[in-house]
Structure 1
């Protein structure tokens, strides 16, 4: 059905600050970095809220100052994962806190650059040493009473620096890695190409931590050299805040763009030790726009896309991929029985607001990346069987028909984590764009800083 594939390129475009002449930020996705040969301080400020990363030549720590009304009482600090609150000082009209990691805050020699990033609600300080960025301190700003995803707060955001800062760069946060890569398509599933043949992709730009620190980015892929160039980013307005939602499919539908995405930007996993604690499931949203979403940064108004899960005992859905065939819409996605036990699902209907469950592969427990691929006058469904599946369906790319009967297996390298079957026709050949689970950023961020882009070509 598909030819065999061979890896032709691996790359990882790590970028901390995507430099911009104007620092104004549409979303809680910001960074400032600088070369340094001594103590340095970098800051992000909005109104009376001041977020500071400090490096004294030996240690790295964070300080936050939160503007408060005179009658507001200070609330106790809740240390972030891996980071302890070193001190808490409360002054008239403000709440000041300091945060350092006992295990990761002390650095050796050879620091070339220092950075402060805001990704979702996470503030992180990083050093560049030994050819890689390493997270040294971080704090969830909601734990100190700051909500950085609010647009009024973002409107006043500025960046500053003190000390030995040189070659200062500021702007959007880029990425520590790329994953969840999808081809930008027309509604019929064919590739959206620019006049020179350049292909476009959406990807999850990994932040320094779990999924809420990431966002959706747009990339140009040269189908000959396999070079990737960042083109912009998409953010999503919902529930009164702007989120870095991701695992996104961007579709050209007539004279507008249709965008479906997964609400990972607001995800909060259930607490297994305390089931009474609030948590936020993952769903799928949809947005439409006539703006050029292939370039620049955009905030899109998104609304829930109702994906059927009849009889599936579903606690969440993600990884949407949409295609219109004749007068029918097809939507591939993932449904989870719990976090994290998930499988492939396919729905269809005359419109995206009138979908019915068509098929589900409930024999899987770790299968995602559902992808609809036009092939020979029909449509097949690709997916990724992770290593946590039953033994017979581990570490492979199954190909299903539209009833989710397995009809083939993609013969391409199955790298670490859960690489997706993103298949792109190029003349008489095919490209397979995947990603692996290699982390970046040191041990402090934990899971979520992957991965490296792995491109294969048919042989």
Structure 2
């Protein structure tokens, strides 16, 4: 059904400042500067009197929120003279980073909600931020936050499932990892060129239907609905999902839907959303849903929606629903025998729809560390022949370009390799892993 694959490239576009001098639609900002010795300080200031600053003085990194100074006893001491100093604001988290021996290291981080800081998610608040610097620095860069890693890779697609191509490149959405857990990340849009290079194109931010403010929700699918001259965006509400297990509440993690006639494949966009109602299997608890993927089957006039449902955090399985509209969906299938399978992905092979997913290593041995292939009742009918990186990589397959003779199938996924040092932790994964057909 699909060819075997082998890894041909890995990409890791780490950048604190992803969009220099860009207007800020969301509280995702960064400053970095070259150090010329001595004390250095970087700050974000706001007309409301807010001042968020990071500093490096005598080899010790610190953060300042108003009059409060915060230092990490374990991670704040810099043992190797750094080349650059960085500040990041990602949602409600302020971090100080140093660039040393060719990598960024998080030296301190504070949650502004716990430090008496402002409501960074308030609508329009981020637009008032201004970058400032003091001390022995040069080559200052400021703008929107970029990423420490990319994960949750999905092709941007037409409604029929075919890739959305621009100038020979295919586009994909990704989760741009921040310097911490899931609540420091956001959604970005990228191009994958024919020679397997990746280029940043856009960032997407979201409103919530039931809460004020601006969110960096992620694990997103961007779909071009040509029949209605619009973009559809489905995303998962990870932006305020807590790292502390005691704070996780059933029903908080869900999937939202946005519509827009703007070109969402370039620039910065803030999108209002509504909840996408999704069925889950009868008799099976569901504390949350995530990883949406859409397609429209013209032959039947039905929308197909793939996603994940969790019995508890984290015990999860793939689900498929269908219906005449996105507001009238019924359950089509669920692989409830899984307990660590996500990345539910619809792919059309000829005239037949198949569902791909990713079996994480916490499944039982027979269905562990592999990419299963299901029919639309979610009955397994095979598996991809492809290397399986660490973490739970999604099986994003790219069919050959019909305008390029001899073009190959590709598989674009990610791994769990962290960045940013020990304080940044798990949420900073991963590398973009690119595979090609080896046949």
Query: Is 1:112 aligned to 2:83, yes or no?
Result: yes
2: CA distance, partners of 1:151 / 1:115? 25
Q: Which residue of 2 aligns with 1:236?
A: 206
In 1, the alpha carbon distance for the partners of 2:8 and 2:25 equals 36
1:132, CA displacement in angstroms? 0.3
Deviation, structure 1 residue 215:
0.3
Residue of structure 2 in register with 1:314 after alignment: 286
- Return the alpha-carbon distance in structure 2 between the equivalents of residues 63 and 280 of structure 1: 35
1:227 equivalent in alignment to 2:197: yes
Unaligned runs of 5+ in 2: 402-406
Counterpart in 2 of 1:20? 20
Q: TM-score, normalised by structure 2?
A: 0.94
What is the distance in 1 between the residues matched to 2:45 and 2:120?
11
- Using the alignment, how far apart are the partners of 2:242 and 2:254 within structure 1? 12
**Aligned partner of 1:371 among 324, 330, 345:** 345
1:429 corresponds to:
408
Distance in 1 between residues matched to 2:124 and 2:199, nearest whole Å: 31
Q: 2:107·2:423 contact (CA, 8 Å) conserved in 1?
A: yes
TM-score when normalising by structure 1 = 0.90
Q: Please tell me whether residue 360 in structure 1 is matched to residue 331 in structure 2.
A: no
Alpha carbons 1:214, 1:244 under 8 Å: kept: yes
Name the stretch that deviates more: 368-377 or 11-20: 11-20
Size of the aligned set, in residue pairs, is: 423
The runs of at least 4 aligned residues of structure 1 exceeding 3 Å deviation read: 269-272, 277-280
Q: 1:140 to 1:279 in 2, by over 3 A?
A: farther
Equivalents in 1 of 2:321, 2:249: separation in Å? 30
What is the deviation of 1:197?
1.3
One of 451, 454, 458 as aligned partner of 2:430: 451
Aligned counterparts, 1:46-65, within 5 A? 46=46, 47-65=48-66
* Equivalent runs, 1:118-267 vs 2, <5 Å: 118-145=89-116, 146-194=118-166, 196-223=167-194, 225-238=195-208, 239-254=211-226, 255-267=229-241
For the aligned residue pairs, the C-alpha RMSD in angstroms reads 1.4
Unaligned segments of structure 1, at least 5 residues: 66-95
Tell me how far 1:429 sits from its aligned partner. 2.6
Q: Say if 1:445 and 1:410 are closer, same or farther in 2 by CA, change over 3 A.
A: same
What is the CA-CA distance between 1:19 and the residue it aligns to?
Answer: 4.5
Give deviations 1:180-228, integer Å, cap 9, x for gaps.
Answer: 000000011011112x2111010000000000100000001102x1000
Residue deviations 1:350-375, cap 9 Å, x none? 10000011111110010000000010
Note closer, same or farther for the CA distance 1:270–1:317 as it changes in structure 2 (3 Å cut). Answer: farther
Q: 1:392 aligns with which of 362, 366, 381?
A: 366
Hey, what's the Cα distance between the residues in 1 that align with 2:251 and 2:150? 24
